[in-house]
């Protein structure tokens, strides 16, 4: 994606999203990739966020220290919805503390988890967006 942005093969509209956004580091793209392959994807998505969004900040803690959303490892379909949503409340607290109006995620499991938690907490104003749609 970075290559295509640099070559102007992907056209970006920075005016499309003006609300304060935050980026969620999925466990598999970050910590687990770093552990297994020696490189976690932490800086690349932040560069893309800089190109796409005029108003975004990092969550605290950031990068490899971010809080897991609780949506990986098959939890979205294992039947333990109450436990999954309970676990994910910590992630939602992290997002709320940042004052975010939009959360950007590259992982479909994370997107599903955060959307599910958002519904259960009645946080209707938070927009959840898949990374590729920016």
Mean pLDDT of 24-36: 91
Q: Which domain holds residue 32?
A: 17-133
Distance (Å, whole) CA 60 – CA 103: 13
Question: Is 92 inside any structural domain?
Answer: yes
pLDDT at res. 124: 81
Q: pLDDT at residue 52 above 90?
A: yes
Tell me if 4 is assigned to some domain.
Answer: no
In a domain, 94, yes or no: yes
What CATH number did the domain enclosing 125 receive? 3.40.50
Higher pLDDT, 134 or 51: 51
pLDDT score for 45: 95
Q: What is the pLDDT of residue 54?
A: 96
Q: How far is CA 32 from the centre of its chain?
A: 16
How many domains does one find in the chain?
Answer: 1
Q: Are 114 and 88 in contact (CB under 8 A)?
A: yes
pLDDT averaged over every residue in the chain: 91
pLDDT of residue 55: 96
* Dihedrals phi, psi of 83, to nearest 5 degrees: -65, -40
pTM (2 decimals)? 0.90
């Amino acid at each position: 994606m970075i290559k295509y942005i640099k070559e102007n093969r992907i056209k970006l509209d920075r005016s499309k999203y003006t609300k304060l956004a935050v980026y969620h580091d999925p466990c598999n793209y970050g910590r687990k990739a770093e552990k297994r392959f020696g490189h976690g994807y932490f800086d690349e998505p932040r560069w893309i966020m800089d190109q796409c969004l005029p108003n975004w900040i990092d969550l605290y803690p950031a990068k490899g220290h971010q809080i897991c959303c609780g949506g990986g490892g098959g939890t979205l379909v294992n039947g333990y919805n109450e436990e999954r949503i309970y676990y994910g409340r910590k992630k939602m607290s992290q997002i709320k503390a940042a004052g975010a109006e939009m959360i950007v995620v590259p992982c479909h499991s994370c997107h599903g988890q955060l959307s599910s938690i958002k519904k259960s907490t009645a946080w209707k104003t938070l927009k959840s967006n898949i990374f590729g749609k920016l």
